[in-house]
Amino acid sequence: MTGGWELPIASNSDVVMVRQRVRSVAVEVGLSLIDQTKVVTAASELARNALVYGGGGLARIEIVENGARRGLKLTFSDEGPGIPDIEQALTDGWTTGTGLGLGLSGSRRLVDEFDLVSAPGKGTTVTVTKWAR
């Protein structure tokens, strides 16, 4: 790991901040334009989830290395109510809010590695990684 950034997620403008920072780091890591857009969109979804469903939280952006490959690792954590049924939450079209229900499941498809840790009452932490090709 080389360097890292931590950004709070407390309002809609923070989501925009996270998105902008992720984009600039993605450029630095050397992601292609399509992959940049994908990881930025995933960051946008997950940050908004932390805000809307978790009542705000923290975003962590890290540059990771795996041999010759460089990548972007993002961690979104909140201390909200948590997800009771992760399987269901990752189903396309499932939402407890008013959205499209594609944010979480779509984000999983947008990135290379996706890890979700959550339990009712314990908050939610989503870690995603996108590798440069």
Partner 1 sequence: MTVDADVARRRIEELLRENETQILHRWTLIAKASSEELSDIYRALLTSLEHGGDLADMRGLLAELSRSRARQGFTPADTARAVFGLKEALYEAVESDGGPEALRGFIWFSRLIDDLGLFTFETYTTARERIILDQAEQLLELSTPVVKLWEGIVAVPLVGTLDSARTQVVMEKLLQTLVDTGAEHAVIDITGVPAVDTQVAQHLLKAVVAARLMGAECVISGIRPQIAHTIVTLGIEFGDIVTKASLADALAHALRRSGIEVIAPKATRLAVRTENV
> What strand order describes the sheet that includes 69-78?
4-9, 57-66, 69-78, 124-131, 113-118
Return phi, psi of residue 27, to 5°: -65, -40
Return phi, psi of residue 26, to 5°: -60, -40
Nearer to partner 1, 43 or 83 (CB): 43
What is the per-residue binding string for partner 1 in 56-75, x denoting contact by CB under 8 A? --------------------
Nearer to partner 1, 55 or 106 (CB): 106
Query: Considering the complex, what minimum distance in angstroms separates the CB of residue 125 from partner 1?
Result: 20
CA-based nearest residue to 56, from 119, 7, 99, 105: 7
110 binds partner 1 (CB under 8 A): yes
100 binds partner 1 (CB under 8 A): yes
Beta-carbon contacts of 102 under 8 Å, excluding residues fewer than 6 positions away, are 92, 93
Point out which residues bind partner 1 (CB under 8 A).
Answer: 12, 16, 19, 23, 33-34, 36-38, 40-41, 44-45, 48, 92, 99-100, 102-103, 105-107, 109-110
